[in-house]
């Protein structure tokens, strides 16, 4: 099976909160990342969390890490239409990052 | 700082033709990567280079070759293109304080 599991699609209304979830099969890495890919563009690092942290807040973004359940989530408060994109939580390995299919977030006005 | 630069951005090939995708980074990173992205398949690693002078296969290396020309440049070659290689190709380098990947803007390849 995949090393990373994410829901494929999420639809929210502008102003609502969005929560994107990710489950790992391996969580031995130092940092865990969230990447954002806007239509027609490359991937950009959105935020990250150090693996010994439970939570990190960065403006509208909140990252939660449950190491026991190997579960990572990204919460976007006050979601805007500009947040419409694909979001990835890659699994870090020793030399590589393994990406899954990502979660497509669609924000409607 | 240009970051990661890929060329060309768009290319159309006929089956059997060859081409090379170029990638350069100006961040002095040791590790570089080539991924492909296909609808419904996510990003898959083709090849990577953990340091200058080394290359390793990723998840989907068949039909590709790579060259780590120097620390800055990592090229991907299709010797005999096939329609199954129609994809968007992303080059990336890894570094920074958190070991994150920095991606190029992508190269959109169509093989007819």
Residue A79: exposure state from Cβ atoms within 10 A (0-12, 13-18, ≥19): buried
Which residues of chain A lie closer than 8 angstroms to B92, CB-CB?
43
Residue A91, exposed/middle/buried by CB under 10 A (0-12, 13-18, 19+)?
A: buried
Q: What is the pLDDT of residue A1?
A: 39
| d(CA B6, nearest CA chain A) in Å | 11
**Cβ distance of A99 and B43 shorter than 8 Å:** yes
- In A, minimum Cα distance to B105 occurs at A42
Residues B46-75: tens digit of each pLDDT: 999 999 999 999 999 999 999 998 999 999
Residue A12's pLDDT is 97
Judge: A96–B41 Cβ closer than 8 Å, yes or no: no
From the CA of A94, how many Å to the nearest CA of chain B? 10
Cβ pair A98:B99 closer than 8 A: no
Name the stretches of chain A with pLDDT < 70.
1-3, 26-28
Q: In the prediction, which pLDDT does A24 show? A: 77
**pLDDT score recorded for residue A106:** 97
């Amino acid at each position: 099976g995949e090393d990373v599991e994410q829901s494929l699609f999420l639809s929210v209304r502008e102003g609502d909160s969005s929560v994107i979830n990710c489950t790992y099969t391996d969580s031995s890495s130092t940092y865990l990342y969230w990447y954002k890919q806007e239509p027609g563009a490359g991937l950009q690092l959105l935020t990250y969390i150090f693996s010994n942290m439970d939570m990190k807040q960065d403006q509208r973004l909140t990252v939660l890490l449950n190491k026991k359940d190997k579960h990572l989530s990204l919460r976007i408060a006050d979601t805007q239409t500009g947040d419409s994109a694909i979001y990835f939580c890659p699994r870090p390995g020793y030399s590589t990052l393994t990406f899954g299919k990502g979660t497509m977030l669609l924000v409607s006005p | 700082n240009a970051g990661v630069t890929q060329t060309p951005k768009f290319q159309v090939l006929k089956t059997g033709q060859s081409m090379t995708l170029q990638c350069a980074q100006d961040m002095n990173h040791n590790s570089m990567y080539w991924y492909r992205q296909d609808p419904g398949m996510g990003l898959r690693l083709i090849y990577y280079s953990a340091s200058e002078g080394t290359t390793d296969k990723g998840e989907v290396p068949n039909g590709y070759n790579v060259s780590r020309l120097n620390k800055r440049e990592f090229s991907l070659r299709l010797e005999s293109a096939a329609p199954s290689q129609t994809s968007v190709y992303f080059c990336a380098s890894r570094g920074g304080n958190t070991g994150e990947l920095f991606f190029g803007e992508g190269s959109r390849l169509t093989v007819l």
